[in-house]
Amino acid sequence: MSILRLFRVSKTLNHHDGTLMPDLPTTDERRGGVIDNAIYVDGVRTSSPASLDETYELLRERRGLAWIGLYRPTEDEINSVANEFELHDLAVEDAISAHQRPKLERYGHTLFAVLRPARYLDDVERVEFGELHVFIGPEFVVTVRHAESPDLAHVRRRLEENPDLLCRGPEAILYAILDQVVDEYGPVVAGLENDIDEIEDQLFNTGDDTVSRRIYELSREVMEFQRTTKPLLDILTALERGFEKYRVDVELQRNLRDVHDHVIRIVERADSYRALLQNALTVHATMVGQRQNAEMQQLTESSLAQNEEVKKISAWAAILFAPTLVGTIYGMNFDYLPGSDWILGFPVAILATVTTGLILYLVFKRRRWL
């Protein structure tokens, strides 16, 4: 049975909804240190040593495979493993300091891989990235985990339930771990896709200006996811190039190619998500600009309307100024006022007032103030 078929059957039994969610670590795992320690002979677990020193002794006594699982180990624990299996100083330094990008390096007969698992946190709608270091030697596998994922306990149980696969050697464990890491990317892809759908609804339906911040934050997560998944293509390609040189089992070659195809699809979807978010940010900026232009246009139209009203008021005030002036002058209480005893004084004053108002009216009308 292939790794992929084995994992799919296990997922169906453990998760009725078809999704893969890693179990939370036990209390011992949260404390860190040696999580699981076993010796395998012909794919069967023959002993579970209580300490690293006991593991070393048993491995020297019998020909087999040691799988040591460490979770946030101390420097002493890593150095103990490094001294026993003659691990390269640079690889050990990377395992201690962590914060490495995914990569695959070979030091003599030892293969060192750095993987970046990820899981989607539904409660906060955020992607959490971890880090896993794997040392592969002819007779040992050492895993150093710095986060809650991937769930290597599931990987160990699945391989122990399939001795035919486990007896193929350390490479089988590496491929199973790779497949588990890639499978756990599935819920992350689904979570990111759901977030993008929500952003599109928020962008076109609600018009919420805060959507730009959400787009930016999600873009950062997608970029980090790309930096996590893309290097896997180089890692898997490098492993494939070593098929003939290291005489990798044919079944493991098929499993590795299947994982490679899965990674290609995930990388392509991550690329499409980044393009969608960039387009969404551009569309949002365009929509904000259009709303601002519409508001400016309304403000301009309102200002123009106010100007027209001011013109009309000013024009009528000027027209009424002439009779007001005449009436004010002839309404003065003086004993002698020029023209007051003239028989045509009143008609002339009225005619001058009306003529002045009419001229002003025609002038303002021609200038379209009225």
Angle at 209 between CA 205 and CA 210, to 5 degrees: 105
Q: What is the pLDDT of residue 191?
A: 94
CA–CA distance, 311 with 368 (Å, rounded to integer): 9
Q: Are residues 199 and 348 in the same domain?
A: no
Instruction: Choose among 238, 265, 39, 26: nearest CA to 152.
Output: 26
Q: Are residues 55 and 171 in the same domain?
A: yes
Range of the domain at 117: 3-288
Question: Is 296 domain-assigned?
Answer: no
* Gap between the terminal Cα atoms of the chain: 93
In the chain, which residues have pLDDT < 50?
A: 1-31
Helix (H, G, I), strand (E, B) or coil at 132: strand
* Tens of pLDDT, residues 67-112: 999 998 888 899 999 999 999 999 999 888 888 899 999 998 899 9
Q: Are residues 318 and 265 in the same domain?
A: no
Q: What is the pLDDT of residue 229?
A: 94
CA–CA distance, 5 with 153 (Å, rounded to integer): 18
Question: Is 36 domain-assigned?
Answer: yes
Question: Is 298 domain-assigned?
Answer: no
The CATH number of the domain holding residue 360 is 1.20.58
Q: Are residues 222 and 162 in the same domain?
A: yes
CA–CA distance, 47 with 50 (Å, rounded to integer): 9
Where does a domain end: 288, 321, 341?
288
Question: Is 264 domain-assigned?
Answer: yes
CA–CA distance, 263 with 253 (Å, rounded to integer): 15
Q: Are residues 83 and 152 in the same domain?
A: yes
Question: Is 333 domain-assigned?
Answer: yes
Q: Are residues 358 and 237 in the same domain?
A: no
Q: Are residues 283 and 313 in the same domain?
A: no
CA–CA distance, 344 with 342 (Å, rounded to integer): 5
Q: Are residues 221 and 328 in the same domain?
A: no
CA–CA distance, 263 with 66 (Å, rounded to integer): 29
How many structural domains are present in the chain?
2
Question: Could you tell me which residues come within 8 angstroms of residue 257 by beta carbon, excluding any fewer than 6 positions away?
Answer: 240
The CATH number of the domain holding residue 265 is 3.30.460.20
* Tens of pLDDT, residues 9-41: 333 333 333 333 333 344 334 445 888 999 999
Q: Are residues 135 and 53 in the same domain?
A: yes
Question: Is 127 domain-assigned?
Answer: yes
Q: What is the mean pLDDT of the chain?
A: 82
Q: Are residues 170 and 239 in the same domain?
A: yes
Question: Is 295 domain-assigned?
Answer: no
CA–CA distance, 197 with 112 (Å, rounded to integer): 39
Q: What is the pLDDT of residue 207?
A: 60
Q: Are residues 130 and 84 in the same domain?
A: yes
Q: Are residues 230 and 336 in the same domain?
A: no
Question: Could you tell me which residues come within 8 angstroms of residue 234 by beta carbon, excluding any fewer than 6 positions away?
Answer: 104
- The alpha-helical segments, DSSP class H, found in the chain are 3-14, 27-31, 52-61, 75-85, 89-97, 152-160, 163-166, 170-201, 211-241, 250-330, 345-366
Question: Is 211 domain-assigned?
Answer: yes
Instruction: Choose among 66, 74, 224, 79: nearest CA to 146.
Output: 74
Instruction: Choose among 188, 186, 162: nearest CA to 176.
Output: 162
CA–CA distance, 284 with 203 (Å, rounded to integer): 7
